[in-house]
Amino acid sequence: MGTTHDQFNVGGMSCSFCAESIKKAYSRTDGVEDVDVSLAHEEVLVEYDDDLLSEVEVKDTLRDLGYTIRDPDKAKRYEQQQAELSDGKRRLLITGGASIVIAALMGWMIFVMGRFESTSLGMDLVTLGLALGTMFGPGRYIKEKAFQSVRRGIFNQHVLLEAGAFAGLVGGLLGLFVFPSFPTVHFFAVSVFITTYHILSEYTSLIVRTRASRAVQGLLDLQPDTARRVSDDGDVEEVPVDDLDVGNRVRVKPGENIPVDGTVVEGESMVDESVATGESIPEEKAAGDAVIGGSVNETGTLLIEVTGCVESPYGREVGR
């Protein structure tokens, strides 16, 4: 027993405030020694004392904050990302529709009726229904995140936006039951617009990050899983790409993908680097030229010295 490291792929992070909220939550958890959050990779690395915390408790902290833990399997993780996109789109359509309706009512009041305050009890009740429906329907998950953040003394964007949404709801209720001169519809509209804005921003962020992560993963998938490492004595052994170190030499035959970034030590060949540069015409490579991991060696055999590595969100890793 002692220090344990667990890495999780997390769904639901939308901005740097989410990453900071996760860091603060873990920093206030007894037994957690260190935490790193990568928003770009949607990953969290937690270092904790397993005498004080279990893996289930570490995961529960993320879930309590309103985030999901995706399956480590790539195929299942892709399905979960698709489900998150579908849920986000559904929420946006509902709240967006409510925003359009309430904006139309406000426009009719101001430009047709020539009044800023409510014109009928029926209109007040309709807008109240739209406000409650958006806040506690598709916007309910935002309140859960805000509540869990406040419970831990974390004041993030969820808390601030929900404070604004509830302020609009309270103002509308005061106009409905206490001060008839209040612009009730406009107060309720604030709740609807803030909820819609929050859902729109998270959905947009989710689309961007999902497409970016798939593009990066697509590039990484072009790299082979193994490489032929050549020793100083000339012996060749096939090893996992992850086992390569800077300074190692690898042999790449025609038609194979170059495993990692490096410099050609021996041989000449045409190399297709379009995956990285976008240039469709293969480039001739000879001794002293740099090559890019994932590109395709087309014509000759190359001996390459490893010079580069893939940056993970938590440190340097040679290869994949």
267: left (phi over 0), alpha (psi -120 to 50) or beta: left
Average pLDDT over all residues of the chain: 85
pLDDT at 314 over 70: no
pLDDT at 150 over 60: yes
Q: What is the pLDDT of residue 313?
A: 39
Q: 302 in a domain, yes or no?
A: yes
CATH code at 284? Answer: 2.70.150.10
Domain match, 123 and 183 both: yes
Residue 139: domain span: 75-220
Condensed to tens digits (0 to 9), the pLDDT of residues 16-36 reads: 788 888 998 898 888 899 999
Higher pLDDT residue, 288 or 117? 288
Domain match, 244 and 197 both: no
Domain end point (choices 194, 220, 246) = 220
Domain match, 15 and 84 both: no
- Residue 273 tokens read as 């680097």
CATH code at 18? Answer: 3.30.70.100
pLDDT at 44 over 70: yes
Domain match, 196 and 260 both: no
Q: 313 in a domain, yes or no?
A: no
| Structural domain count, the chain | 3
Domain end point (choices 220, 243, 262) = 220
* 32: nearest Cα among 70, 60, 72: 60
Domain match, 181 and 285 both: no
CA distance 272 to 75: 29
Q: 47 in a domain, yes or no?
A: yes
Condensed to tens digits (0 to 9), the pLDDT of residues 196-223 reads: 999 999 899 888 877 776 666 666 666 6
Domain match, 140 and 180 both: yes
CB count within 10 Å of CB 281 equals 8
Domain match, 44 and 118 both: no
Range 276-290 average pLDDT: 85
Domain match, 111 and 212 both: yes
Q: What percent of the chain has pLDDT over 70?
A: 90
Domain match, 108 and 203 both: yes
Q: 319 in a domain, yes or no?
A: no
Q: What is the pLDDT of residue 206?
A: 83
Range 244-270 average pLDDT: 90
Three-state helix/strand/coil letters over 123-154: HHHHHHHHHHHHHHCCCHHHHHHHHHHHHCCC
Q: Where does the pLDDT of residue 152 fall: very low under 50, low under 70, confident under 90, or very high at 90 and above?
A: confident
Range 153-171 average pLDDT: 91
Q: 232 in a domain, yes or no?
A: yes
Contact 52, 97 (CB under 8 A): no
Domain match, 125 and 201 both: yes
Q: 316 in a domain, yes or no?
A: no
pLDDT at 137 over 90: yes
Higher pLDDT residue, 155 or 320? 155
Higher pLDDT residue, 137 or 293? 137
pTM of the model: 0.67
Higher pLDDT residue, 224 or 271? 271
Q: What is the pLDDT of residue 170?
A: 95
Contact 320, 241 (CB under 8 A): yes
Q: 44 in a domain, yes or no?
A: yes
Q: What is the pLDDT of residue 317?
A: 43
pLDDT at 126 over 80: yes
Domain match, 230 and 208 both: no
Domain match, 149 and 261 both: no
CA distance 150 to 165: 16
